[in-house]
Structure 1
């Protein structure tokens, strides 16, 4: 019997889009399962690699740096500071509750990452258009502080989640909170609640009150903004927010919140800061260039001489005119910075005027003019005509408003004659003078306008001091440095080496320049810088007495002093030959008191005395060497009247007579100053040969033996320039 055919199925076929959706769902489920599996695997791998609880307790955050003076005294400790480690049971409950309330109120219930917090931060990001809340839990913050950095990148955030989940698997909540409170940064270099409590309140964290705990807990969000020492009111306002959150979460009652008074909390006094910080602020950033160690604690040994630093600070405070600032840099013959003062008060202003300020140097810039002239063949006995001169429309004037006819370069330099400096600059070329300044270490831009010879280009005090130190070093380059060595775990990782190989000018040029600088101090504009032993130096004063400079050297120490106002306004009576020179003398008497007296290669030669009938008008004359504006044009009112006489009545420049000048100071056997009679020019003895600027004189000055050195007469070996017995011990 034949079978009846079965009826055909009436089920409609599945549409393609449904098949695609179904496939996508299945793939998504597989992807989720794989992702969860990968996440779990990553968490457990991270957990296995995490340090133990005890290891995390002993590992520091940040790098400790201790800075030592030349004698080993600790100047300052930089980087993180830590108090005592407080076990969980010793941490006050108010501190634990305040931290949880303000930083992570679901700390006790989440698994290390708070989905609600993440969702909230995403919503805020959407509403405000930028990230303002990170949604990080306490565990995430701990993971970031210990293992990661603060870069706002998804890769870093994902690693943070993995580590947080792993830490929650390895440590208890109490252990995580203990680690957090002892390691988190609270500002001012303080890591952990004990360091913060001692810094801000002067006692340990185990004694924290509710108000103090609220202040500290409020710091984590923005330590610099809410620091009680930086902005007390902001810290109090933030603490009130913390107290309100604690009340909202039930950590404290409304009565306890009202009783707390952050406004009444007494802060510990800030430690006194002194001028040493100007030096450490300058020296420590150099570590980034010297070493690449960023984790191990460092011991940094510096060149600073504490006794000189105190003397420098006292000299600037005692001599800076009212309303002005002052700066000082002292270099030893190898370039080591022995003292640095960047202002009258570091607490009032951390701006370092010794290394950062750029000011016009006035006539102290003539150092480079005369160096270029001497290198070109001039000598201290070469003559020029002191007369009115005009160069490209610029007509410089002497501070005395007089001209003396034919004078030697020694006389012109001693009395800072502007007309002669202008002529020398024109003769050697203004670009040559600029090149000389750059050769000697001037790092700021130097213009080549004719008026540049009078110091119209801005310079830094440390650069000018370096230039004078190179002259004192017989023409060999001196490079300032402040760090001698760095050790990490008692291992030397950096040792400074002094470079004595770079010769800037021939030794005889440096000797002749020193000759001129001696004369400026002995009888010229720098007489206030006399200290009872050989001194060479130069004054500088800018237009309208805006800046006063004195730079000089004696017994191996080169010191530069600047004074003026930060706003560059005129200072009545300020001149380089007065307050700056007096500060130089006060400092140098103390700085070189215990050093042997050193004679220069050339003895002091006085300038000619019969320049004109009223030559004494030069004595005591302040070195207002720059009477030009920014474009190099003369400034002032009446062309025949000195600018100083146009100052405010009672604030003009005081010009002492020769009889009123201070007597030079002698030193006793211990090197301390004792009174002495003023020096007098000794007449030339009969039969004593006159000093002449000839080849024989140059040989004697430079210590050169014509026979011995004949094959290499044009080479200047650094060992000849700086003999071993003249170098400091390394």
Structure 2
């Protein structure tokens, strides 16, 4: 009897203590939930998704998405805007008792424990939609008992603070669905190309099935797995009474059309180049933004095909295409972005060969030489450097036009010696070449390394009548709600050379395509351009323009090994042809303006322009020159208009010592004078001093200064 009483008293004490412990636990839980509830932010604050990182979408000129970086957010949909089928699908597959539990589902927890005991593993999760929301917003995915307790407390607090509809709205707009997409609207736009408010039943089941394992079931990763998971969602919707069996039978997930993912190949060369520019354009680093670029997807595809079709085996290729205002319409940095992200269009520095003669002849034309002036193609020896022509022969007397068209090296060398090699370097820097330009004699043949985008920019500036063109890729930046953060404005026109110099240079460039080394670049409309080939056929270039579009092409090996048969007039010119034929098809045919009126001081030189200034007061009415006392000045004592002798054809009338004239008497406008007249005032790199006589090696190719002949 005593034993029975003792057992009963122990049982009673057990229940008393158990009740007390449970009451204390509930008290502690209530306090914890109360504290958590009081610290929860307002509902509007939870709708902000900037804590997930900044979403950046880069769009092409036509508005299509080139690439999405960071998390992708769509439009925030209110509960009523979310299709009922989408809400039902999510509840059916993730939390069928969502409407009845207080944030934590005791039945689900008990079932999860039962599976754990029977199998020895956690195979079935007991987290409700509210718990998942708490974890996504406030916690991490770390699987610990302490984190599960925190998750439960926050879930209970969320259920107190917000309504069921608000919780479901938050969940559907914030949960990760794979493919970088957060929220159902982003997922719908990523996978189907339209907003979530237009989701069909089949589309909704696929999206609802992604939450369990976004990386496994994402349509962008495995379309079949995503459709298979959708069948499970349909069955759950039927079993829970959300849809009828007939409605489910009418849906075939296999027929749901998925949107193809944006191409991530050559376009990435452009986006990698443009993306860093955002740091200098905007300050916004949290809100989602859309970056509208200048890239034309159609032309990008044509450019990619032109490079891959024409680049020799084992060689790389690059292409840059600029519109007349500098907008980048296409950019290819290599044959395959996946295998090499190195952008040869913007990063690689290679010898340009004879395409560098653009700056040689610009300096010549600015100094007063004309395309019709003649020079003698003959052996040249400059400080031991003896350039040869690609033909290994000499033509004798030729015009500058013919010399440029045939890419005669000896003529370029003579021009450099006459004007000064620092003058040529100044011209290159004036047109935007930022890499180091040497002043060794061989520099006139393109021995200094340059970038393709800068060479293309220089040719575009000639096409723009001598006014500077600056390449750009970003037109505007807006937030997801339409707030304008940046809008590109036209740059101030900066004159590089006089219009008549640019016109005469265009004349020479057109001749090079019509009758010279660039004939393979002809496209049935006016084209102006220049080839470039470096020593041992290591690099091939063609840069030219037509109908307002300027395109540069480079080909070669990354290790700079020779490529048999590679010349600027072959593969690069053919790639230019293939691209420009399509790129200019819908543009009006434009004839080049190669005849531009010269300024009066060139057309009608007076005494002051041709020699020493003459005071009008010292001329008698009869036209005789007189001294200060009015006495006639003998002819032999009159000031000579040309102290150094009558200039030869092509030489300027100005003499050394006059403003804007080089001290060597060549007549080329020096950089300081141009900066003053053109109001530039930009800091220039000091010219590299020429080496002392005899310092150039007998074979300049040994130190990389000797380019090829064409």
For normalisation by structure 1, the TM-score amounts to 0.56
Pairwise CA distance, 1:694? 12
Alpha-carbon distance between aligned partners in 2 of 1:571 and 1:86, rounded to the nearest angstrom: 62
Find the counterpart in structure 2 of residue 367 from structure 1.
358
1:487 matched to 2:485 = no
Which of 281, 284, 294 is matched with 2:285 structurally? Answer: 294
Pairwise CA distance, 1:182? 8.5
Cα gap change, 1:79/1:90 in structure 2, threshold over 3 Å: closer, same or farther? farther
Find the counterpart in structure 2 of residue 538 from structure 1.
530
Find the counterpart in structure 2 of residue 578 from structure 1.
570
Contact 1:328 1:339 in 2 (8 A): yes
SS in 1 for 2:501: helix
Pairwise CA distance, 1:453? 1.5
**Based on CA coordinates, which of the two structures has the bigger radius of gyration?**
2
Contact 2:65 2:262 in 1 (8 A): no
Find the counterpart in structure 1 of residue 497 from structure 2.
505
Find the counterpart in structure 2 of residue 309 from structure 1.
300
Contact 1:139 1:176 in 2 (8 A): no
1:56 matched to 2:46 = yes
Find the counterpart in structure 2 of residue 547 from structure 1.
539
Alpha-carbon distance between aligned partners in 1 of 2:392 and 2:87, rounded to the nearest angstrom: 75
SS in 2 for 1:421: helix
Find the counterpart in structure 2 of residue 528 from structure 1.
520
Alpha-carbon distance between aligned partners in 1 of 2:62 and 2:133, rounded to the nearest angstrom: 45
1:284 matched to 2:295 = no
Pairwise CA distance, 1:187? 8.6
Q: Deviations over 1:673-714 (max 9, x none)?
A: xxxxxxxxxxxxxxxxxxx9999xxxxxxxxxxxxxxxxxx9
Alpha-carbon distance between aligned partners in 2 of 1:412 and 1:570, rounded to the nearest angstrom: 26
Cα gap change, 1:168/1:546 in structure 2, threshold over 3 Å: closer, same or farther? same
Cα gap change, 1:172/1:215 in structure 2, threshold over 3 Å: closer, same or farther? farther
Contact 1:471 1:510 in 2 (8 A): yes
Contact 1:142 1:179 in 2 (8 A): no
For normalisation by structure 2, the TM-score amounts to 0.57
Which of 463, 466, 477 is matched with 2:468 structurally? Answer: 477
Contact 1:552 1:558 in 2 (8 A): yes
Cα gap change, 1:141/1:299 in structure 2, threshold over 3 Å: closer, same or farther? closer
Find the counterpart in structure 2 of residue 414 from structure 1.
405
1:563 matched to 2:555 = yes
Cα gap change, 1:533/1:228 in structure 2, threshold over 3 Å: closer, same or farther? closer
Cα gap change, 1:209/1:186 in structure 2, threshold over 3 Å: closer, same or farther? closer
Contact 1:92 1:208 in 2 (8 A): no
Alpha-carbon distance between aligned partners in 1 of 2:428 and 2:154, rounded to the nearest angstrom: 61
Find the counterpart in structure 2 of residue 321 from structure 1.
312
Alpha-carbon distance between aligned partners in 2 of 1:170 and 1:299, rounded to the nearest angstrom: 36
Q: Deviations over 1:272-324 (max 9, x none)?
A: 43433322222232222111122333232222223322322222222222222
SS in 2 for 1:278: helix
Find the counterpart in structure 2 of residue 458 from structure 1.
449
SS in 2 for 1:315: helix
SS in 1 for 2:475: strand
Pairwise CA distance, 1:391? 2.4
1:387 matched to 2:386 = no
Pairwise CA distance, 1:392? 2.9
Q: Deviations over 1:248-282 (max 9, x none)?
A: xxxxxxxxxxxxxxxxxxxx997643433322222
SS in 2 for 1:514: helix
Find the counterpart in structure 1 of residue 343 from structure 2.
352
Contact 2:37 2:157 in 1 (8 A): no
Alpha-carbon distance between aligned partners in 2 of 1:206 and 1:501, rounded to the nearest angstrom: 55
Find the counterpart in structure 1 of residue 592 from structure 2.
600
1:390-409 matches, cutoff 5 A: 390-409=381-400
Alpha-carbon distance between aligned partners in 2 of 1:196 and 1:693, rounded to the nearest angstrom: 69
Alpha-carbon distance between aligned partners in 1 of 2:461 and 2:269, rounded to the nearest angstrom: 23
Pairwise CA distance, 1:387? 2.1
Cα gap change, 1:209/1:303 in structure 2, threshold over 3 Å: closer, same or farther? closer
Alpha-carbon distance between aligned partners in 2 of 1:86 and 1:432, rounded to the nearest angstrom: 73
Q: Deviations over 1:160-215 (max 9, x none)?
A: 9xx9999689447999999899968899635589999999xx995754799x6897
Contact 1:142 1:184 in 2 (8 A): no
Find the counterpart in structure 1 of residue 322 from structure 2.
331
Alpha-carbon distance between aligned partners in 2 of 1:329 and 1:581, rounded to the nearest angstrom: 14
Alpha-carbon distance between aligned partners in 2 of 1:598 and 1:179, rounded to the nearest angstrom: 57
Cα gap change, 1:367/1:323 in structure 2, threshold over 3 Å: closer, same or farther? same
Which of 587, 597, 616 is matched with 2:579 structurally? Answer: 587
Alpha-carbon distance between aligned partners in 2 of 1:339 and 1:447, rounded to the nearest angstrom: 31
Contact 1:434 1:448 in 2 (8 A): yes
Alpha-carbon distance between aligned partners in 1 of 2:121 and 2:333, rounded to the nearest angstrom: 42
Alpha-carbon distance between aligned partners in 2 of 1:559 and 1:432, rounded to the nearest angstrom: 26
Alpha-carbon distance between aligned partners in 2 of 1:427 and 1:45, rounded to the nearest angstrom: 84
1:515 matched to 2:507 = yes
Pairwise CA distance, 1:551? 0.4
Which of 432, 453, 458 is matched with 1:467 structurally? Answer: 458
1:701-712 matches, cutoff 5 A: none
Cα gap change, 1:303/1:207 in structure 2, threshold over 3 Å: closer, same or farther? closer
1:448 matched to 2:448 = no
SS in 2 for 1:553: strand
Cα gap change, 1:49/1:498 in structure 2, threshold over 3 Å: closer, same or farther? same
Pairwise CA distance, 1:541? 0.8
Cα gap change, 1:205/1:187 in structure 2, threshold over 3 Å: closer, same or farther? closer
Pairwise CA distance, 1:444? 1.9
SS in 2 for 1:351: coil
Alpha-carbon distance between aligned partners in 2 of 1:577 and 1:546, rounded to the nearest angstrom: 14
Cα gap change, 1:570/1:183 in structure 2, threshold over 3 Å: closer, same or farther? farther
Q: Deviations over 1:432-458 (max 9, x none)?
A: 222211111112222222222221222
Alpha-carbon distance between aligned partners in 2 of 1:47 and 1:143, rounded to the nearest angstrom: 15
Pairwise CA distance, 1:345? 2.7
RMSD of aligned C-alpha atoms?
5.0
Contact 2:176 2:211 in 1 (8 A): no
Cα gap change, 1:69/1:179 in structure 2, threshold over 3 Å: closer, same or farther? closer
Cα gap change, 1:574/1:178 in structure 2, threshold over 3 Å: closer, same or farther? same
Q: Where in structure 1 are there 5+ consecutive unaligned residues?
A: 1-39, 113-136, 147-159, 217-226, 230-267, 605-691, 696-713, 719-730
Contact 1:328 1:341 in 2 (8 A): yes
Alpha-carbon distance between aligned partners in 1 of 2:326 and 2:133, rounded to the nearest angstrom: 50
Alpha-carbon distance between aligned partners in 1 of 2:41 and 2:515, rounded to the nearest angstrom: 75
Cα gap change, 1:293/1:460 in structure 2, threshold over 3 Å: closer, same or farther? same
Alpha-carbon distance between aligned partners in 2 of 1:196 and 1:143, rounded to the nearest angstrom: 22
Find the counterpart in structure 1 of residue 658 from structure 2.
none
Which of 361, 376, 383 is matched with 2:367 structurally? Answer: 376
Q: Which moved more, 1:549-558 or 1:183-192?
A: 183-192
Alpha-carbon distance between aligned partners in 2 of 1:69 and 1:205, rounded to the nearest angstrom: 27
Contact 1:430 1:450 in 2 (8 A): yes
Contact 2:513 2:521 in 1 (8 A): yes
SS in 2 for 1:77: strand
Q: Deviations over 1:592-627 (max 9, x none)?
A: 2222221112279xxxxxxxxxxxxxxxxxxxxxxx
